[in-house]
C-alpha cells in the first residue's frame, strides 16, 4: 500500500528526532533541571539511530544472531530515561518509591534481554511485548506529565506532549501491527507525523513561548522589589494586586477565598502538599508542592516570558520550612533577578518575626520597604 508523500517520512523522522533532542537539550541548559537532562539524553539516543544512521551508511552490519537483542536495547534505555526524567518534572526529585520503580524496570529489562538469547519466545510478537510496553508507555507517561504539569493547554505548545502520547500509543501496538502487512506502512507514516508534531510543539515551547497575557486597561504597580509585613499593607500601597491582570500569585490562601478576588488573567500557584496539577482554568490555578522550587522557578520564568509583570509572594515562610532558609532565599533572589531584568514588580509579604537576625538582614537588604 502506497501513501502519498510517504517517501518524505524517513527524512522527517531524521529531522524531527534531532529537533526534539536540540530543543529539550536547550531546555536542560536553560533550567539546569535534572529531568530535562535525562529526557534530552533519551532523545539523543533516539536521534543517533545507530543502526539506520551510522552503521548502515558505513556498510557495517550487526551479526544476525545478536540482532534480536541489539534491536531491543534502545527501547529499554530510552524508556527508563524518559520515565526517570518525567518523575523529576512531576515531583521535582526522585524519591524512594520512584527509585524502586526504576530499579524493577531495569531488572526486568536485564532479564528480558537474556531471555531473547534463548528459545523461550516463539515469535517476534512475543519478543517485542516488554520492549514496546516500556518504549510506548514511557512516551505516553512523559506526554501526560508535560500536558498536566508543564505545558499550557490550548496552545501550539500542546503539540509537544500530544505528539509524544500518540507516538507512544502507536508503539504500544507495535508487537501486533508491525506484522500486519497492510498496516505497517500506515504505522510508519503515522509515527513520522506524530514525531514531527512533537518536534514542532517542543520548538514552540522552548524557543517561542505562548502569546503574552493581556494587561490592557490596568495601571501597573510601581516597578521594583518590595517588602511588606502584611497583605493589607501591600494592597493599600500598591493596589489590590490579585485583581490586576498580569499578576502571578504564590500563596497558601484557601482556594474558596482566592477565587472570589482574582482577576481572570491572574496566574496562581497554590503551594501545598495536598494536591498537584491544574485546579482551575480561568483564572489559572495550579497546585504545586513546596519542595519543587526548581520547577516553580521555571514556571514563573515562563509566566514572565508570556507577559506577566507582577510576582506576588506570600508563601515564603512555608517554602523556608520545607526547604530551609538558604534554598528558599536562593529561590527568592532568583525571582528577583528575573523580575528586575524584565522591568517588573516583585512583592514579598513576610512575617519577619519568624526569622533570626541574620536572615532578617538578608531579606531587608534585598527588598525595599515602602513607607
Strand 267-271: give its sheet, edge to edge: 277-280, 284-288, 267-271, 247-251, 310-313, 345-349, 224-228, 368-369
Q: What is the pLDDT of residue 218?
A: 53
pLDDT band at 132 (very low <50, low <70, confident <90, very high): very high
The per-residue pLDDT for range 24-59, each reduced to its tens digit, is 999 888 777 889 999 999 999 999 988 887 888 888
Q: Does the pLDDT at position 2 exceed 60?
A: no
8-state DSSP, 92: S
The per-residue pLDDT for range 206-226, each reduced to its tens digit, is 887 554 455 554 555 678 888
The per-residue pLDDT for range 267-305, each reduced to its tens digit, is 889 888 877 777 776 777 888 888 888 888 888 887 887
Taking the complete model, does pTM exceed 0.75, yes or no?
Answer: no
Amino acid at each position: 500500500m502506497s501513501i502519498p508523500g510517504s517517501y518524505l517520512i524517513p527524512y522527517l523522522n531524521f529531522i524531527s528526532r534531532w529537533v526534539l533532542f536540540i530543543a529539550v537539550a536547550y531546555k536542560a541548559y536553560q533550567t539546569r533541571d535534572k529531568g530535562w537532562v535525562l529526557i534530552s539524553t533519551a532523545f539523543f539516543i533516539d536521534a543517533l539511530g545507530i543502526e539506520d544512521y551510522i552503521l548502515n551508511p558505513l556498510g557495517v552490519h550487526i551479526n544476525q544472531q545478536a540482532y534480536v537483542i541489539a534491536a531491543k536495547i534502545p527501547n529499554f534505555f530510552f524508556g527508563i530515561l524518559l520515565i526517570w526524567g518525567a518523575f523529576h518534572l512531576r515531583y521535582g526529585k526522585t524519591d524512594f518509591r520512584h527509585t524502586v520503580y526504576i530499579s524493577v524496570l531495569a531488572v526486568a529489562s536485564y532479564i528480558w534481554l537474556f531471555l531473547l538469547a534463548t528459545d523461550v519466545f516463539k515469535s517476534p510478537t512475543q519478543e517485542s511485548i516488554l520492549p514496546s510496553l516500556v518504549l510506548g508507555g514511557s512516551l505516553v507517561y512523559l506526554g501526560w506529565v508535560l500536558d498536566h504539569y508543564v505545558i499550557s493547554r490550548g496552545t501550539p505548545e500542546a503539540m509537544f506532549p500530544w505528539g509524544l502520547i500518540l507516538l507512544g500509543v502507536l508503539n504500544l501496538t507495535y508487537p501486533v501491527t508491525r506484522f500486519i502487512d497492510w498496516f505497517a506502512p500506515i504505522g510508519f507514516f503515522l509515527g513520522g507525523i506524530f514525531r514531527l508534531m512533537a518536534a514542532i510543539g517542543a520548538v514552540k515551547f522552548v524557543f517561542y513561548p505562548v502569546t503574552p497575557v493581556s494587561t490592557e486597561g490596568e495601571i501597573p504597580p510601581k516597578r521594583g522589589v518590595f517588602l511588606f509585613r502584611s497583605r493589607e499593607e501591600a494592597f493599600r500601597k500598591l493596589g489590590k494586586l490579585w485583581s490586576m491582570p498580569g499578576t502571578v500569585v504564590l500563596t497558601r490562601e484557601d482556594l474558596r477565598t482566592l477565587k472570589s478576588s482574582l482577576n481572570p488573567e491572574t496566574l496562581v500557584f497554590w503551594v501545598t502538599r495536598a494536591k498537584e496539577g491544574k485546579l482551575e482554568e480561568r483564572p489559572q490555578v495550579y497546585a504545586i508542592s513546596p519542595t519543587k522550587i526548581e520547577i516553580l522557578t521555571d514556571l514563573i520564568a515562563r509566566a514572565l516570558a508570556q507577559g506577566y509583570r507582577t510576582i506576588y509572594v506570600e508563601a515564603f515562610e512555608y517554602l523556608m520550612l520545607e526547604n530551609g532558609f538558604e534554598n528558599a532565599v536562593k529561590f527568592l533572589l532568583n525571582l528577583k533577578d528575573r523580575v528586575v531584568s524584565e522591568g517588573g514588580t516583585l512583592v514579598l509579604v513576610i512575617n519577619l518575626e519568624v526569622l533570626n537576625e541574620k536572615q532578617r538582614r538578608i531579606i531587608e537588604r534585598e527588598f525595599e520597604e515602602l513607607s
